[in-house]
Structure 1
Amino acid sequence: MITPFPELDALLRDLNESARAILQDTYVGGYLQGSFALGGGDAQSDADFIIVTTVPPSGQVEAELRRLHADIPTRPGFWSDNIEGSYADADSLRGAAGIGQPWLFVDRAHREMTWDDHCNNLHTRWILRNHGITLGGPPPRELVDPVSEQAMRESARQALPGTLEGIREWADMNHAWTQRYIVQTYSRVLYTAETGKVASKPAALVWARSKLDPAWLPLLTQVAEDRAIPWKPVDPPRPGSMQRAYEFAAYVETLAASQWGGG
C-alpha cells in the first residue's frame, strides 16, 4: 500500500509504468512526495509526484508525456483529477544549484503541461530525500543531496514576507478554500522557519495550535475542522474568517521579523 486510497495507489502505479514506457532508457525513477510522503495526505490533498529522468524530456518523448497527462484527468474516479508533479532531470535535481530550472510540470486538475519551476525548490528536495516514497527506481536519497536544516530555515524565513501577496496573484480571495490555504500555508512556513523541517498541512496546524498565542486557537481549530469540507465551485468563507486569516498572516510575518529580522 502506497497511500490510504487504493484508487490513488493504482493511478500512481499506472502513471509510473506509463512514464517509464515513454521515457525508456531516460527513465531513472518515480516518487511520491508532498503530504502523502509526510504521512498527512487526506481526501483534500493532491498527490505530488516527481519522475526523474537522465535528460529533460523533449521531442517525441515530451509529446507522448503531454498526451498521457491530457488523458489522465478524463479517466473515471476521484484521484485522476488530483495529481500534480514534475519530470526532473537528475542533474538539476541533485543539489541546490539546480533550483529555478524549469521542469515539465502538470498542475492539479489540468490537462496541459508547462515548463515551470513549481516543484524545483528546497522544500521538495527535503521531502523527497527524507520521506519520498519510491514507485520505481533507486531510493531517492541516492538522487538528492542532503538539505541542511539551516538552509531550510533560511529559505522559509525569506519566503514569509509577502506570502499573502503571492497567494493573491492566483487564488480566489472570496473562497473558503483560500481562507484555509492562507492559514495552513503560514503555519507550514513558520514550522519550517522554526525547525528546519517540513510538515504536512494537518501536522503544521497541530504544531501551531500548541506553539502560538492561544488567541489564534479558534482560527486554527476552524481551519483544521474545515479541511474535511469538499471543494465547491462557489463556497464563500465563514463570516469574518477571511479577515481573521489576513490578521494571522500579518501576525506570523511580524513574529518572523521580530525573531529573525524578516529573513
Structure 2
Amino acid sequence: MHADFARRNIEWDDRIEVQYYARAALKSFKSKSSKMAVISPGEPLHIVDAGKQWLTNWYFVQDYGITLFGPSPRLFIESISKEEFVISVKEHALEWGEHVKYTKHSRSYQGYAILTMCRALYTLEHGEQVSKMKAAQWAKQEIPVFTSIIDRALKWREDYRNLNIKHEETYLETVHFIDFVIDRISKRQY
C-alpha cells in the first residue's frame, strides 16, 4: 500500500511516516513495550518494540491529533503530562551524541539531526514543541555562531534526493553542533 502510494505520488517517495500500534498498547506504553509497525523516511515498513521512548509522539497525538474516523485518541492513550513530555524530549536529545556517531552520515540525516536538536532546545527552553522550521529560526537567533549550519540543514532537508554530495564534508560540523546543544542541555535545569 505504501509503496503503491509512493509510486503514484513520486513527491512522497521516501517521505511517508506512519505508525501502526494497537489501541491496547497505547493504554500501557509507559509501563511495557508492544510491537508496532513503522515506516519512516529512509526506512522500509518494519516492526519495532515501542514503549515509553515513543512518549513524545503520543503526546502530540493526545493533545493535537485530529480524528478522521472513530473515537478521539484521548479516550485510549495513557494520559501524558507536559512535564513528562519535556523530560522525554530532554532524554531523547541527550542520546543524540552517541546516536549520531553510529548511524547514517548522509547529508539528509545530518539535516534531520540538526533540526531535531534545534527543536529539542526550543522545547526545553519554552515548554512547547514547534515545527522544525520555527525552531531553526529561533536557534539561529539564540546561538548565532551556528547560523550557517542551521541554514544548510534547512536546505539539506529540501534537497534530500541530491546524490552528488560528499556527506563527510559536513559530518564533523554536524557532530560539533549536536555536542554543543547536548552540553547546553546538560548544564541547565528543565
TM-score, normalised with respect to structure 1 = 0.61
Aligned equivalent of 1:222, options 135, 152, 156: 152
Residue in 1 aligned with 2:15?
Answer: 82
Matched residue type, 2:65: G
Query: Unaligned regions of 5+ residues in structure 2, if any?
Result: none
Q: What CA deviation, in whole Å up to 9, does each residue of 1:52-97 have, x standing for no partner?
A: xxxxxxxxxxxxxxxx446444445322542122221112213552
Aligned equivalent of 2:55, options 122, 133, 141: 122
Structure with higher helix content: 2
Residue in 2 aligned with 1:206?
Answer: 137
Structure with higher strand content: 1
Residue in 2 aligned with 1:258?
Answer: 187
Matched residue type, 1:178: Y
Deviation of residue 100 (structure 1)? 3.1
Residue in 2 aligned with 1:137?
Answer: 70
Inter-CA distance 256–121: structure 2 relative to 1 (3 Å threshold): same
TM-score, normalised with respect to structure 2 = 0.80
Deviation of residue 163 (structure 1)? 0.7
Residue in 1 aligned with 2:176?
Answer: 247
Inter-CA distance 120–103: structure 2 relative to 1 (3 Å threshold): farther
CA distance in 2 between counterparts of 1:244 and 1:200 reads 23
Q: What CA deviation, in whole Å up to 9, does each residue of 1:94-139 have, x standing for no partner?
A: 3552563221223336554324429961111111122223232223
What is the root-mean-square deviation of aligned Cα atoms in Å? 3.0
Does structure 2 conserve the Cα–Cα contact (< 8 Å) formed by 1:129 and 1:140?
yes
Residue in 2 aligned with 1:159?
Answer: 92
Which structure: larger Rg? Answer: 1
CA distance in 1 between counterparts of 2:177 and 2:44 reads 35
Residue in 1 aligned with 2:102?
Answer: 169
**Is 1:108–2:37 an aligned residue pair?**
no
Inter-CA distance 235–118: structure 2 relative to 1 (3 Å threshold): farther
Residue in 2 aligned with 1:9?
Answer: none
Query: Unaligned regions of 5+ residues in structure 1, if any?
Result: 1-67
Identity of aligned residues (%): 22
Deviation of residue 166 (structure 1)? 1.4
